[in-house]
Structure formats: structure tokens, C-alpha cells
Amino acid sequence: MNFIRNILNSRSKGNGNFFLQLEKVIGFKINDKTLYVKAFTHRSMNLRDEKGNAINYERLEFVGDAMLGAVIASYLYGEAPQGDEGYLTKMRSKIVSREHLNELGKELNLINFVESKIPKSNFGNNIHGNLFESLVGAIFLDRGYQYCERFVYDKIINPHVDIETLEGRVISYKSLLIEWCQKEKKTFDYDVYEDTGNDNLKHFSVKLSINGKVVTKARATSKKKAEEKASKRAFFVFQNQMSRT
């Protein structure tokens, strides 16, 4: 317990007191401080408790993901009584998409709370959403479902969720394009290849062909991002045709 106590003491000093600042973000008092230490400890710290269990936010991410899904599902069930299972699933995915969670994490400046041996400038964009999920997990385990639900409503549902707006939001242009091609019996092909050039980071380029003709090209730091970017460009090329189907 001395090890955990030392961590808690270190977080209570400097930077305006970690726990007091975090309480301003979540809007209520913290009971179990150890949960929030874990919620903002990166695996690069390589910390373990007396039993050898890792101290980092990854397990809390898992809990937070489940709780976000539960709260959002309950909200949609009440707000969209005409929606079937497929509609509700799609709408929930839009609300808790990786992109949206990253935006929420940035909005709350959660990266300022994280302890890591990796410079914050070197983190990818997903760190923001990961921390948001881990915080939700910590809140649930610390204060229970009611407080977790309150936090999700305060930070996600009330300020950001509008059913009509969400219905028109595209989660994945690639999925949308593939679905359209299959429905219209069009062939499609993503020709992806490494295209690093003079960049320090590895890059990939993609040529998207429909019915054997290249319609768009794109380049990004991962195959998935390159394909999504090419699909988005193709969506705007075929938008009028897709809207009629």
C-alpha cells in the first residue's frame, strides 16, 4: 500500500492538485482516487501494484466503452421509439465513434492529466478518446451508474447529440460506398501501396477504381485512412447518383 500511497501523494502535489482539477472536469467529488490515477497512467510508465497487476488506463477503457454504450443505448431507446435495432445500433455508433470520442477528449483537455514517459506531442489522435473512455470507466466504478449517466449526459448527450443531425452524419465513407456499389452491382477495387517518399512517417497511397476505372486517389499515414479518404472523395463524385438509390 505504500507504493500506491506514494503515487497518490505525488498526484496531489503540483499542477494545482490533480484530483481537484479533475473534479472540476467531472463535476462531482472523487471517492476512490486510485481509479483516477489508473485512468490517466499510460502503459509506458510500466507501473505495477504489489500484486504485479499493471497500473494503466487500458482496462478502464474497456469498462468505459461498455458504459458509454449502455447509457447511449438507453437514451436512444427513449428518444427514438420508431427506430428498429439496426437504426439504434447505427445511431449509437455515430455518437460513440472514435472520431467523436477524440473530439470530446480534446475538448476536456484530458491529455493534460496523463502520466507518460512518451512526450505528449508524440501521441496519436486516439489518445484523447482512449482517455475519455477510461475516465467514464473510473467514474462508473467509483460512483456507480447514476453518476456515470450524469457525466455522459453533461458531456455528450446534452451539448452534442441531436437525432436529426446524427441521421445525416456519415461514419464510414468506405462502408457507404461499398454498400452502394454492391446494391448497384458495380465492381470496386482499392489498390493500396506504400508511398513514403521523403516523409519521416510511413505513408500509403490508394487508387480507388469502380467498374475498372480509377475514380479517386488519396494518401495518408495508414492504409485505413488512405482508403477512407479516397472513399470520401468518391462519395462526392457519385453523391447525386447515390442519393437517388
Question: Mind listing the pLDDT tens digit for each residue in 80-114?
Answer: 988 889 889 888 988 998 889 999 999 999 999 99
Q: Are 7 and 112 found together in one domain?
A: yes
Alpha carbon distance 245, 229 (integer Å): 22
Confirm whether 99 is a catalytic residue: no
Alpha carbon distance 241, 19 (integer Å): 54
- Cα distances (Å, whole numbers) of residue 20 to 28, 109, 115, 123, 243: 10, 15, 16, 25, 51
Q: Are 34 and 66 found together in one domain?
A: yes
Q: What is the pLDDT of residue 15?
A: 47
Catalytic residue selected from 61, 115, 133, 227: 133
Q: Are 39 and 152 found together in one domain?
A: yes
Catalytic residue selected from 23, 49, 50, 65: 65
Q: What is the pLDDT of residue 68?
A: 97
Domain of residue 228: give its range: 173-243
Alpha carbon distance 185, 106 (integer Å): 41
Q: Are 23 and 132 found together in one domain?
A: yes
Number of domains observed in the structure of the chain: 2
Q: Are 63 and 127 found together in one domain?
A: yes
Query: pLDDT tens digit string along 160-212?
Result: 998 888 777 777 888 888 988 999 999 999 999 888 776 677 889 999 999 99
Q: Are 111 and 224 found together in one domain?
A: no
Confirm whether 133 is a catalytic residue: yes
Q: Are 59 and 144 found together in one domain?
A: yes
